[in-house]
Amino acid sequence: MKVLSPEGTGITETVSEVVLPSASGQLGVLANHAPMITALDIGVLRYKQGGEWKPLVTYGGFAQVDSNMLSILVNDFDTVEDIDGEAAKKDLEAATAKLESAGSKKEKLDATAAVKKASARLQATMFGKK
- Per-residue pLDDT tens for 23-49? 899 999 999 999 999 999 999 999 999
Residues 70-124: tens digit of each pLDDT: 999 999 999 999 999 899 999 999 999 999 998 899 999 999 999 999 999 999 9
CA 126 to chain centre: 14
Going by C-alpha positions, the residue among 40, 130, 121 that lies closest to residue 81 is 121
Q: How far, in Å, CA of 66 to CA of 36, rounded?
A: 7
CA 123 to chain centre: 10
Global pTM reads: 0.87
